[in-house]
């Protein structure tokens, strides 16, 4: 084996080893994702509240300050109708 052949083999082996090591390092830095899409969002259930015709306050169904005829709506709907939360 001539000196040129030996140097060429040594350089080729070094390049192959460096390529393998760099490939492994890159895989550790940037792991591949298992999914391309995020899971669907879970929609929170609408909170039910109680409103009356006598005021503009909405209450939780167990509130002791509710008097008169009750109507059950969602909190979002109550706010849209101009009601404010009972404190």
Examine the domain organization and report whether 28 and 52 are in the same domain. no
Query: Which residue(s) pair with 70 in the sheet?
Result: 52
Q: Is residue 68 part of a domain?
A: yes
Low-confidence winner among 5-19, 25-39, 47-61 (lowest mean pLDDT): 25-39
In a 3-state reduction of DSSP, which class is residue 67?
coil
Examine the domain organization and report whether 58 and 81 are in the same domain. yes
Which tokens hold the place of 14?
């070094």
Q: For 53-83, what is each residue's pLDDT tens digit? A: 888 999 999 999 888 899 999 999 999 999 9
Higher pLDDT pick, 34 / 79: 79
Q: Is the CB of residue 67 less than 8 Å from the CB of residue 50?
A: no
Domain count for the chain, please give it.
2
Which tokens hold the place of 51?
């409103």
Q: Is the CB of residue 50 less than 8 Å from the CB of residue 75?
A: no
Q: Is residue 24 part of a domain?
A: yes
Examine the domain organization and report whether 27 and 56 are in the same domain. no
Examine the domain organization and report whether 31 and 1 are in the same domain. yes
Q: Is the CB of residue 48 less than 8 Å from the CB of residue 74?
A: yes
Examine the domain organization and report whether 3 and 28 are in the same domain. yes
Q: Structural domain of residue 12, as residue ranges?
A: 1-35
Q: Is residue 40 part of a domain?
A: no
């Amino acid at each position: 084996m001539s000196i040129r052949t030996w140097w060429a083999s040594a350089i080729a082996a070094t390049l192959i080893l460096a390529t393998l090591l760099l490939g492994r390092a890159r895989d550790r830095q940037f792991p591949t994702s298992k999914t391309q899409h995020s899971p669907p969002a879970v929609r929170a259930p609408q909170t039910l509240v109680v409103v009356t015709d006598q005021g503009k306050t909405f209450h939780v169904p167990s509130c002791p300050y509710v008097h008169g005829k009750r109507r059950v709506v969602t909190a979002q709907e109550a706010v849209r109708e101009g009601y404010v939360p009972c404190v």
